Amino acid sequence: MSFFDYFKTKKKSSASVAKERLQIIVAHERNTRDQPDYLPALQQELLEVIRRYVEIDDDQVQVQLDRNDSCSVLELNVTLPEEITDPQ
Amino acid sequence: MARIIVVTSGKGGVGKTTTSASISTGLAQRGYKTAVIDFDVGLRNLDLIMNCERRVVYDFVNVIQGEATLNQALIRDKRVENLFILPASQTRDKEALTAEGVQKVLDEMSETFDYLVCDSPAGIEHGALMALYHADEAIVVTNPEVSSVRDSDRILGILQSKSRRAEEGREPVKEHLLLTRYNNERVERGEMLSLEDVNDILSISLLGVIPESQAVLNASNQGTPVILEDDSEAGGAYADAVARLLGEERPLRFLDGQKKGFLKRMFGG
Ligand SMILES: Nc1ncnc2c1ncn2[C@@H]1O[C@H](COP(=O)(O)OP(=O)(O)OP(=O)(O)O)[C@@H](O)[C@H]1O
Ligand SMILES: [Mg+2]
């Protein structure tokens, strides 16, 4: 990165960084709105179980409850790390 | 039947009371009988902005608890016809506002007023919930700044789930975004979220953009709602917001205002 690139990204930064951060947190908070209180604990325990087998980060397990008229669906999303392929 | 408008934000200090004072004044100027109600029990400020602090005898809580009649507590504005102020209590705590009590007072006011403007306290607790519960419309006051936008989004979620309209499954509360303390120069330098940025995130209809303006402080020093300073940009922007609230179309003004003002000052133009 050249000196001027550094300057440019820095100048562009604060408002657009603010926007990006907001988009992420707002989307997350909208998803967790009106979710049952036990979901965070459930998510934590699932994380622990999965970690016995695979090393994953906190945000790689997402739990969400979708309520419909007749039934509710508990959606569990686990993002596994990519297979570590050693180039050598 | 009065239309009930809550002025809310989640975050404190973003301009709710300033907005409540100007929007209610603007509605009254247009000939609608309007009352502005201070829901900030314990921290009343609306009386100061409306320049009636020395005329407060009874307050909202007194009316709820039957210690005074509505007519005894309502303060008639001396400048604008059709405008009344219902002050908050300075001594009680927020729990004195009960859902039934508030309901009773709003129902009584609904019979004679066209608009009731509810100035919400900050936060998402009891006082703020009481202020928004009965609303038909909500003005979500937002500053172009991360924590304010995030709190506005939370308040929108609460309007959609905890308002009376939501609970009764009626047509949802009509949501309006009012972006205040906007500084176009800083937006152009990339230091402040732009109108477009905030719109992208909250995506509700825009009621107006109020520029950051010294006129607001001057007006509040004197106890004048800034909308009455009709040669100020902030006053003009509030007048436009009132027009849009009434369904009129107005182009956005003052978005390049600061810059021109600056050049004017520099070159005496
Ligand atoms: N457009 C503006 N330009 C400059 N200053 C402003 C503007 N709007 C509001 N202010 C100032 O910001 C401060 C807070 O405004 P105000 O009391 O209306 O906010 P609030 O949301 O009601 O606060 P609270 O959450 O404490 O009730 C005041 O000093 C006011 O003069
Ligand atoms: Mg206030």
Average pLDDT over residues A28-46: 85
Atom of ligand 1 nearest to the CA of B181: 1
Decide whether any atom of ligand 1 lies within 6 Å of the B224 Cβ: no
Within 8 A of A14 by CB-CB distance, chain B residues are 190-191
Q: Which residue puts its alpha carbon closest to atom 29 of ligand 1?
A: B217
Q: Assign 3-class secondary structure to B162-175.
A: HCHHHHCCCCCCEE
Dihedral-angle region of residue A73 (phi above 0 means left; psi in -120 to 50 means alpha; beta otherwise): beta
Please give the Cα distance from B95 to B126 (Å, whole number).
7
pLDDT band at A70 (very low <50, low <70, confident <90, very high): confident
The pLDDT assigned to A6 comes to 54
Cross-chain Cβ contact A30/B153 below 8 Å: yes
Give this prediction's pTM.
0.86
For residue A9, pLDDT over 70 is answered with no
Q: Is the CB of B15 under 6 A from ligand 1?
A: yes
Residue B166 to residue B174: CA distance in whole angstroms: 11
Q: Please give the pLDDT value at position B234.
A: 96
- DSSP helix, strand, coil percent of chain A (3-state; round to 5): 50, 15, 30
| Residue B157, helix vs strand vs coil | helix
- State the Cα–Cα distance between residues B211 and B182, nearest whole angstrom: 4
Looking at residue B113, the DSSP 8-state letter turns out to be: -
Length in residues, chain B: 269
Residue A3: pLDDT over 80: no
Give the per-residue pLDDT at B256: 65
Q: Does the structure show a pLDDT above 50 at A52?
A: yes
> CA-to-CA distance for A32 and A14, rounded, in angstroms?
27
Does pLDDT of B113 surpass 90? yes
Between B163 and A82, residue with greater pLDDT: B163
| Amino acid at position B223, single letter | G
Per DSSP, the three-state class of A49 is: helix
Average pLDDT over residues A15-39: 88
Model pLDDT for residues B125-151, shown as the tens digit of each residue? 999 999 999 999 999 999 999 999 999
Give the model's confidence band at B263: pLDDT under 50 very low, under 70 low, under 90 confident, else very high: very low
β-strand partners of B180: B210
Model confidence at A85: pLDDT above 80: no
Q: Which two tokens stand for residue B171?
A: 């047509």
User: Over pLDDT 70: what percentage of chain B?
Assistant: 95
SS3 B144: coil
What's the gap in Å between B14 CA and the centre of ligand 1?
Answer: 5
Q: Given the CA of residue B120, which atom of ligand 1 is nearest to it?
A: 27
List Cα–Cα distances, B99 to B104, B173, B206, in angstroms. 9, 18, 30
Please state, rounded to an integer, the average pLDDT across all residues of chain B: 93
pLDDT confidence of residue A4: 55
Give residue A59's pLDDT band: very low, low, confident or very high (50, 70, 90).
Answer: confident
Contact B150/A at CB under 8 A = yes
Position B200 scores a pLDDT of 94
pLDDT band at B254 (very low <50, low <70, confident <90, very high): confident
pLDDT band at A20 (very low <50, low <70, confident <90, very high): very high
Chain B residues with CB under 8 Å of A26 CB are: 149-150, 153, 201
Ligand nearest to the CA of B232: 1
Within the 179-198 window of chain B, which residues sit less than 8 Å (CB to CB) from chain A? 187, 189-194, 197
Q: Are B176 and B140 in contact (CB under 8 A)?
A: yes
Closest to B257 (Cα-Cα) out of B203, B201, B215 = B215
Whether A34 sits inside 8 A of B190 (CB atoms) is no
Tell me how far apart the 2 most distant CA atoms of chain A are, in Å. Answer: 60
Q: How confident is the model at residue B264 (pLDDT cuts 50, 70, 90)?
A: very low
The pLDDT score that the predictor gives to residue A87 is 53
Beta bridge partners of A65: A74
Q: What is the pLDDT of residue B127?
A: 94
DSSP B38-107: E--TTS--HHHHTT-GGG--S-HHHHHTTSS-HHHH-EE-SSSTTEEEEPPPSSS-GGG--HHHHHHHHH
* Predicted ipTM beyond 0.85: no
Give the pLDDT of residue A31: 79
Handedness of CA B233, B234, B238, B239 (dihedral sign): negative
pLDDT in tens, B185-197: 999 999 999 999 9
Mutate to test the interface with B, among A17, A26, A69 (most CBs of B within 10 A): A26
Distance between B239 CA and the closest CA of chain A, angstroms: 29
Tell me which ligand sits closest to the C-alpha of residue B38.
2
Q: Give the pLDDT confidence score for residue A12 in this predicted structure.
A: 55
Look at residue A40 in the predicted model and tell me its pLDDT. Answer: 85
